[in-house]
Amino acid sequence: MTLHRMPMVAEPSLRLHDDQVRVRHKSGQVVDLVLDDQTAIIGPEGKATLSTLTHGRRVIVKVEPLGDGHGRAARVQVFGT
């Protein structure tokens, strides 16, 4: 399993659904990533919840490629307030 580290920013028009988050890569590319019960969300104070993922937050996402061409957010590290 290959994990890719991708510095991203949560989209200003952040779409956070039950199982997906939309983020913008520093290159400008917008990426939809699958979230699941295995996704680790890490905030400034340690372990965090989905409510930490608000629009404009800077994040680093470790992405696991899925067989269908999509990516799964294996780990999301959130920065800032």
Question: Is 50 exceeded by the pLDDT of residue 13?
Answer: no
Percentage of the chain modeled with pLDDT above 90: 33
Question: Is 70 exceeded by the pLDDT of residue 14?
Answer: no
pTM for the full predicted model: 0.78
Q: Which residues contact 73 (CB under 8 A, 6 or more apart)?
A: 21, 33, 34, 35, 39, 61, 62, 63, 64
Whose tokens are 């470790």? That residue is 62
Q: Which residue range(s) make up the domain with 59?
A: 4-79
Work out the average pLDDT over 52-61: 84
Number of domains forming the structure of the chain: 1
Work out the average pLDDT over 49-71: 88
Whose tokens are 């994990």? That residue is 3
Work out the average pLDDT over 36-46: 91
Q: What is the DSSP letter of 25?
A: E
- Please answer whether residues 58 and 80 qualify as being in contact, where contact means their C-beta atoms are separated by less than 8 angstroms: yes
CATH number assigned to the domain comprising residue 24:
2.40.50.140
Work out the average pLDDT over 7-34: 74
